[in-house]
A and B are shown apart, each in its own frame.
Chain A
Amino acid sequence: MGVLGQQLLNGLVTGSAYALIALGYTMVYGVLQLINFAHGEIYMVGAFVGLLLVTVVKLPFLAALPLAMLAAALVGVTVEFVAYRPLRRSSRLAVLISAIGMSIFLQNVALWIFGPATRSFPPPFQVSVLQIGPLRTNTLALLTLGVALVMMVGLHYLVRHTKTGKAMRAVAQDRDTAALMGINVNRTIALTFLIGSSLAAAAGVMVGMLFNAVVPTMGVMPGLKGFVAAVLGGIGNIPGAMLGGIVLGLAETMGVALLSSQWRDAIAFAILILVLLYKPSGLLGARVEEKV
């Protein structure tokens, strides 16, 4: 029981990071029907900015985290402005190719600047090991969970109870009608990128510290898994992304416990294929009907 509980806890921590990434995918998919391939790179940018702020500028965690989120959010909005906005009326294929191009570009610019070596990301505070009954964890893991929780509650409030959130939901429903209703569609889309990117950056900073590793290619796998989590929960569906992230994190830790860690990354894709086969609309479902 203790082993299982331990796995559940570990899965929950990883899963909360996936959930944060998945939220960005799902929100952007909601407003643009686009898989934002560059999202994983935004996560990476967040981690790097966080690392630099903590190790070079020597900022405390509570200052570094929001600044890293802000920086990554700006990159995310720029990506939208440069690579997606000019293609608003283009074919879906063109936007997808542009997105994958952006992802490759950002990742390789980071490789050029920072080199391929993995850098360590020491947390700017004392991490202590905790023993809760049979479960063993540490303050950093709990902080990760806490940060994810705060972000998700904040997002939920924003989307459900503010004007901005209402505009986002309207644009997701029907962009043209939303525009007719006087909603500034381009600004709403930019805001969506801003929020989604900052959440990914938060995940990047936390995971960077958790694994004590930051590297330009670090966004690829979590990016993919964030997307899988979004599809699992029902793409376009915000609570779905949270649930999908947690479920994926748990499934992965369990899978690794049962199989071996080498197949860790394959588990997410096996789940993706299964979801696409049996429930393409995801756990919580989403609108997929195309207008004819």
Chain B
Amino acid sequence: MALLEVSGLTIQFGGLRAVDDVTFHVDEGEIFAIIGPNGAGKTTVFNMLTGIYKPTAGEIKFQGRLINNMKAYEVTRLGVARTFQNIRLFGEMQVWENVVVGAHTRLRSGLFASVFKPPGTRREERAAREKAYEHLAFVGLQGWETQRARNLPYGAQRRLELARALAAEPKLILLDEPAAGMNAQETAELLELIRKLKERGITVILIEHDMKLVMGISERIVVLDHGRKIAEGTPEEVRRNEAVITAYLGAGANVGH
């Protein structure tokens, strides 16, 4: 069953069509990848899926609901979480606080409760912190909880972004180049983590340049080039696709191994 349906997605910045008539769907429980050369419009697609940019044309349906015109926070509330390509943590906050902020939509306390802290709010706070520690353990960041996020090493910051996104209890998680800047061992660990996400029943869309990772883990792939979809299919199909090879050779990269 399709969890996410994207049809005719288009966005125009000034005279430039950054994303042009892109259509694809993602099934529930699937690991799906968006690949393409630099500047192909991948992150722009993510920004539209998460309500940060408004598409100029086209439709985005999440669980059958039109989410085109929703604000970012509304989309998050429905169960879509994401990480950022250029890490965007709350640097001055502690690691566990970052994760609790991720759970913002799952917590209740409003202004009054925030100030006067009735017992229910205290319980909620405690539970949220415990839950945050669990998410941190899940991504392998136990022991780092009370550090400031900005003091974390690079690879750990990427994991923290993942833990923070998980705290939103998403049905769909969007990972924007999660392996960027990681070494081989870290990438392998990340692969394992993404598989675990799938086991938890979370649908994953990832943007990734690391072809080994993409081909090894994705069930289906859509390929963008200059804002247009040039191919879609299983890793095997995409690897053999003429248009993809041309696009990548043109960009001086190599598909596959």
Q: Name A's B-contacting residues (CB within 8 A).
A: 289, 292
Contacts and interface: CB of A to CB of B under 8 A. Distances in A.
A237 to B, nearest CB: 13
Contact of A289 (B13, B43, B84): B13
A292 B13 contact: no
Nearest to A287: B14
Contacts of B52: 292
A289 B13 CA distance: 9
A231 B216 CA distance: 51
Nearest to A289: B13
- 3 closest Cβ contacts across the A-B interface? A292-B47, A292-B52, A289-B13
Contacts, number: 6
6 contacts: A289-B13, A292-B43, A292-B47, A292-B52, A292-B53, A292-B84
B54 to A, nearest CB: 11
A289 B52 CA distance: 10
A289 B16 CA distance: 14
B174 to A, nearest CB: 12
Interface string B1-28: 0000000000001000000000000000
Interface residues of B, number: 6
Nearest to B50: A292
Contacts of B13: 289
Interface in B17-56: 43, 47, 52-53
Nearest to B85: A292
Contacts of B43: 292
A292 B85 CA distance: 9
Contacts of A292: 43, 47, 52-53, 84
A226 B47 CA distance: 35
Nearest to B176: A292
A58 to B, nearest CB: 53
A94 to B, nearest CB: 13
B11 to A, nearest CB: 11
Nearest to B43: A292
A289 B48 CA distance: 13
Nearest to B13: A289
B251 to A, nearest CB: 18
Interface in B35-81: 43, 47, 52-53
B118 to A, nearest CB: 33
A292 B84 CA distance: 8
A292 B47 CA distance: 8
A292 B42 CA distance: 12
B165 to A, nearest CB: 15
Nearest to B88: A292
Nearest to A291: B86
Contacts of A289: 13
A289 B14 CA distance: 11
B161 to A, nearest CB: 14
A292 B46 CA distance: 10
B113 to A, nearest CB: 28
Nearest to B47: A292
Contacts of B84: 292
A292 B50 CA distance: 12
A288 to B, nearest CB: 11
A173 to B, nearest CB: 11
B89 to A, nearest CB: 14
A69 B99 CA distance: 53
A292 B88 CA distance: 9
A292 B174 CA distance: 14
A3 to B, nearest CB: 44
B177 to A, nearest CB: 13
A124 B216 CA distance: 81
B45 to A, nearest CB: 12
Contacts of B53: 292
Nearest to A290: B52
B225 to A, nearest CB: 21
B14 to A, nearest CB: 8
A56 B226 CA distance: 64
B170 to A, nearest CB: 18
A117 to B, nearest CB: 46
A289 B53 CA distance: 9
B210 to A, nearest CB: 21
A177 to B, nearest CB: 12
A289 B43 CA distance: 15
B164 to A, nearest CB: 16
B147 to A, nearest CB: 21
A292 B13 CA distance: 14
A292 B43 CA distance: 8
A14 to B, nearest CB: 34
A83 to B, nearest CB: 23
A292 B53 CA distance: 10
A292 to B, nearest CB: 5
A289 B11 CA distance: 13
A180 B210 CA distance: 25
A289 B47 CA distance: 12
A6 B52 CA distance: 49
